[in-house]
Amino acid sequence: MTSVQLTARRPMRVNLEARAATAAQRRTRTRERLLDAAEAVVAEKGFESASIEEFVAAAGVSRGTFYNYFPTTTALLHALNTRVAEDLDRTLDLLTAHIDDSAARLAATLHTVVAGYMADPVRGWIAVQIATSRAPRQHAFETRFAAIYRQGVSSGRFRDIDMAAAFTIAFGAIRMTQRDMLGGGAPPAQGVQVVALILAAFGVPFEEAAQISREEAASALRP
């Protein structure tokens, strides 16, 4: 759609769609700049210690601009959580779709989470901070985990236990391992042992669980 603005000299055509698209792109860039700045601040200081002043200073915007995009710090945290989770979820789709065995698929999922965050320590610390914050959990991870676990129960690989408890066992252990590894307090081999213990808790014989964990850890580290 175009409109015509009359001036004293000649008509000037204004492309309203192009103007709207430019404004939308500008808003997207500003929002991403705020999220990038927030990632850096939260990774360094923790979410509870970070302030809006630090977010806007890091992003180079005004406090009013911040509120135009995020009415509360909780809204910002939820947006951060969503962005990190969606990026990782796309990676998991590519790396685990070909795995039929539910135990191997779960191990691959957990090792990919750990490897991804170790390769990007800023986002790794963000994930640790978010996991202990008041932000809602990401449904994408819960849906993925539930599908794998139900497949494992149906095939006899996993015990039929409460799904919420199974999720807490798996991702609670992984988050603790991730925190220790990012902080330098645990070697990468700890991730292999933790994933093996998770599989064993779900019903996979421990020796087999350890073998699966080693294999999937090696695959997660390949470029």
pTM, to two decimals: 0.72
220 within a domain of the structure (yes/no):
yes
The number of distinct structural domains making up the chain is 2
Token digits of residue 14: 């204004």
Instruction: Please indicate, yes or no, whether residues 49 and 138 belong to a single structural domain of this protein.
Output: no
Does residue 172 lie within any of the structural domains?
yes
d(CA 146, CA 135): 20
Task: Answer whether residue 125 is part of any domain.
Answer: yes
Distance CA 87, CA 89 (A): 5
**Same domain assignment for residues 86 and 193:** yes
- What is the length of the chain? 223
The verdict on residue 7 lying in a domain is no
6: in domain: no
pLDDT of 125: 72
Query: Are both 135 and 217 inside the same structural domain?
Result: yes
Q: 109 near 148, Cβ under 8 Å?
A: yes
Task: Please check whether residue 48 lies inside any domain of the structure.
Answer: yes
Q: pLDDT category, 2, cuts 50, 70, 90?
A: very low
Q: Which two tokens stand for residue 37?
A: 């700045």
Q: What is the pLDDT of residue 44?
A: 78
Which residues, other chains included, contact 102 with Cβ-Cβ below 8 Å and sequence gap of 6+? 148, 149, 151, 152, 155, 157, 158
Mark which of 32, 50, 71 sits at the end of a domain. 71
How many CB atoms are located within 10 Å of the residue 158 CB? 22
**Which of 8-17, 56-65, 136-145, 210-219 bottoms out in mean pLDDT, i.e. has the lowest?**
8-17
Rounded mean pLDDT, 125-146: 73
Question: Domain check: are 80 and 185 in the same one?
Answer: yes
127: domain CATH number is 1.10.357.10
Identify the pLDDT of residue 84. 74
Checking if the pLDDT of 22 tops 80, the result is no
Rounded Cα–Cα distance for residues 58 and 52 (Å):
10
**Which of the pair, 54 or 10, is modelled with greater confidence?**
54
Q: Residue 8 above 90 pLDDT?
A: no
Decide which of 71, 86, 104 is a domain's last residue. Answer: 71
**Which pLDDT tens digit goes with each residue over 175-205?**
888 888 877 777 878 899 999 999 999 999 9
Judge if 133 and 215 occupy the same domain.
yes
What's at 101, amino acid-wise? D
How high is the pLDDT of residue 102?
95
Higher pLDDT, 119 or 196: 196
Query: Where in 30-188 does DSSP place strands (E)?
Result: none
CATH number of the domain enclosing 44: 1.10.10.60
Asked whether residue 23 falls in the same domain as residue 117, the answer is no
Last residue of a domain, which of 54, 71, 88?
71
Same domain, 79 and 181: yes
Residue 123 lies in a domain: yes
Task: Report the C-alpha gap between 138 and 77 in whole angstroms.
Answer: 12
Same domain assignment for residues 97 and 204: yes
The answer as to whether 87 is a domain residue is: yes
Residue 207, number of CB atoms within 10 A of its CB: 10
- Lookup result for tokens 């200081």: 45
The partner residues of 39 in beta bridges, in order of sequence, read none
Looking at per-residue confidence, does 81 or 36 come out higher? Answer: 36
Q: Are residues 138 and 168 in the same domain?
A: yes
Judgement on whether residues 82 and 93 belong to the same structural domain of the protein: yes
Predicted pLDDT at 166? 95
Domain match, 222 and 135 both: yes
The pLDDT value recorded for residue 20 is 74
**Domain carrying residue 167:** 74-223
Task: Report whether 35 contacts 85 (CB < 8 A).
Answer: no
CA-CA distance, 198 to 104, in Å (whole number)? 12
| Contact present, 99 and 115 (Cβ < 8 Å) | no
- What distance separates the 2 farthest-apart alpha carbons in the chain? 85
